[in-house]
Chains A and B, each alone.
Chain A
């Protein structure tokens, strides 16, 4: 997030897109609700009529995967109606002309045909966003989990830049991060292209710095990101894996191919985990780790806030804190890893090599109850709640002209429905934790498929009926949930359930930049068990 969570309550406009905030980020949603009660305007764009849509001033219920059309059309309106912040564009950006040329053909009328959102609402949304000063964009995986996810993000950034909604409180570009420490994991260099603090592995100077600090030669080549790595497991070019705290099999798209890869090609798999999961079934060695309540350290949240994690209880049985396991593993692998006495010492080493967090230490975090937000370059720096507030952090921002590309797999006769997957409030990702919690299970106990009443009627489904959801990649069972939230022709399923895994059928076609799979759009049919539902046209033809 360029801005901070506590700024949301003072916003005058919230543009929430591809984020079911009340379910995925309930406490941020409370801040949004507070802003709305204060009178802030709310624009929501989402294929589903989510809770936020019910209280929105403008709701754009777009067809899944048509975000580029919507966002370019909003840019078109902002430019053609002269609502751009020309001073900001001149001072802080480059390549605006490219975007102006590209979006010229993305008129609201044409956008209506592709997205399904009325042209007049697109105009209103664009005007409201451009003309409100404290206007922030909030998005999450509904924007990024597409083969054009990077394009979607570029389009949002274009809107922010052309309106100058940057470097101001309660505005900005705010991706809401999914996991407790996904920000911190990236910050710490768990990335194939960056050392800690976003220093490129291809930068010879950075390489030299880390070689000196760690006393070994380092690879100058960029590594593989997780999605590519998993495809390499399938191909057999990655043959050994060390997986800490992630259920890759339940989380990756088109999971059955990955299972075959793990069985046939992966010669050695180490899992460091707190529970058995789908991935540990393939493990050669399992190292029992500690959960958050059993160790010290830091998590970094969505607004770049580094906060302490404190040990409250011991890990169970012979399980150990993960940082201790990693030190021993490094030593057993022949590397002289220092005997860090505590995570505070590990953090100090990282901070000494990472200018962005150089001013942060466990000691300072003890004194700062609210945590410290990076950039925090020295021990006297108070942290940075709002990025770019004292002018751009560096150089000028590039506009990115983006053309619409359809999603990789569109519905056809054989697979006539569009499936998006996501999360519900009551469970968390692979749900190894929340499925062991009575209230979560009482609220949502099994896999379901949300669909519009018209589709259910046409296909002959009753609420609560068990059906099979089938794609080119696999089949899973789910309970029909008839829902006014869905568009006709679109269905939705959560990804939490190991026995009915949505990711057996999702599409692993990846975004060209991030390789993120297209979890939000794939083509399916839904088969009933009593001859109802979509039928396989092949089978019908043969019969």
Chain B
């Protein structure tokens, strides 16, 4: 056994760990849940929200599990009366500076609110609300991302994501004390910053303070998720399409990434993958087969007519000039199966190897 691997104990259970790992990482691997708001596996630990505090034997204070590095023989406790008392006070402090609903619980947007879930598990200490004039950007005209300052807990996941993962640094923590907020340079709208509208800030926000403007908020309860592959570039990001409505009227109303660590995109998407889905239901879609008539104009036709016209038209060209006077342009935008069929048609039906797609352009 290398000296970099050793055992630690979490809640009395022996767990194998590696030098450099954090308590949070080892616990997650062992299926032990340590609650957190500010941690995201794609980011360096910040230890900012204090939700993940654990007892470390030999340490006087509670320590943040997300940032605390393991060492040989370390003994960790993740649930105890002391931790529970800490959480009660901590959640109380968060709630005193948070928009609450009529039941006194954190308001939930379409992007969920994990603080609400935590507060429902551990009754927070009741504290007087604090006056926190946190500035938003109500005039921001960007079409996708809305900031709800009263739901922000200043964990800085969004600003750290913007810095560490997307690396464009469009947003930052600004001001001091109770006025601290998520700001842009000069509080400009996101369109006038380095923001690339990837929406990763929405995805990482734990309290729904960042919300998608163009999706219903919240999505209807019967919305369903369909896992698929993005149709833009060649990275192959996995998407969850959120579909609302039934049968003929169903629509893609939101797109999110599967969680970090599950797929090739590791929880990330770009502007095209996350937001550029309006084309699916756009009124300009071609919805009828069309045949060009004697008048030179395109006219709607039935599928039978259009398919017959297509086969007859290409058939005549083959008759007159031979199979190699035909060209089949398949599509790197279509599925593998469709490409297989297209080349089979070119070769087996029409007898030519003049089949290609845009891979050489």
Contacts and interface: CB of A to CB of B under 8 A. Distances in A.
B280 interface: yes
Interface in A301-350: 301-303, 305-314, 316-320, 322-323, 325-330, 332-335, 337, 343, 346-347, 349-350
Size range of the chain B interface in the assembly: 35 or more
Interface band, chain A:
35 or more
Interface stretch (B62-70, B103-111, B117-125, B328-336): B328-336
B329 A226 contact: yes
A391 interface: no
Interface string B131-152: 0000000000111100000000
B79 interface: no
A185 B149 CA distance: 47
A219 B352 contact: yes
B234 A25 contact: yes
**Which 5 A/B pairs are nearest by Cβ-Cβ distance?**
A317-B287, A301-B236, A297-B335, A223-B353, A245-B331
Contact of A308 (B229, B233, B309, B346): B229
A311 B226 CA distance: 8
Given A244-B331, A442-B143, A346 B280 contact: no
A299 B286 CA distance: 23
Contact of A268 (B317, B343, B350): B317
Contact of A314 (B248, B340, B345): B248
B221 interface: no
Interface stretch (B29-37, B178-186, B266-274): B266-274
A145 B287 CA distance: 35
Interface stretch (A79-87, A234-242, A530-538): A234-242
A308 B227 contact: yes
Which of A227, A330, A347: most chain B Cβ within 10 A? A330
Interface in A464-522: 514-517, 519
B164 interface: yes
B356 to A, nearest CB: 4
B9 to A, nearest CB: 30
Nearest to B258: A369
A37 interface: yes
A285 B306 contact: yes
Contact of A242 (B251, B262, B277, B314): B314
Interface of A: 5-6, 24-28, 30-31, 33-34, 37, 55, 145, 176-193, 195-196, 201, 210, 214-219, 221-227, 229, 232-233, 237-246, 248, 251-253, 267-268, 270, 273-276, 283-289, 291-303, 305-314, 316-320, 322-323, 325-330, 332-335, 337, 343, 346-347, 349-350, 369-371, 425-426, 428, 432-434, 436-440, 442-443, 514-517, 519
A439 to B, nearest CB: 5
Of listed B164, B234, B282, B354, residue having the most chain A CB within 10 A = B234
Contacts of B316: 240, 267-268
Given A284-B309, A329-B310, A196 B331 contact: no
Given A286-B298, A312-B228, A312-B241, A436 B278 contact: yes
Contact of B288 (A253, A275, A318): A318
B243 interface: yes
Interface in B203-229: 214, 226-229
A288 B306 CA distance: 10
A271 to B, nearest CB: 9
B341 A239 contact: no
Given A192-B354, A440-B272, 6 more contacts: A180-B231, A183-B234, A188-B336, A189-B355, A190-B330, A241-B326
Given A27-B265, A334-B349, A436-B279, A184 B339 contact: yes
29 contacts: A33-B165, A179-B234, A180-B230, A180-B232, A181-B336, A185-B357, A192-B355, A224-B356, A237-B325, A238-B325, A241-B326, A246-B358, A251-B358, A285-B309, A285-B310, A288-B285, A293-B228, A299-B236, A302-B234, A303-B236, A310-B227, A312-B252, A317-B285, A318-B289, A323-B337, A323-B338, A337-B345, A440-B276, A443-B197
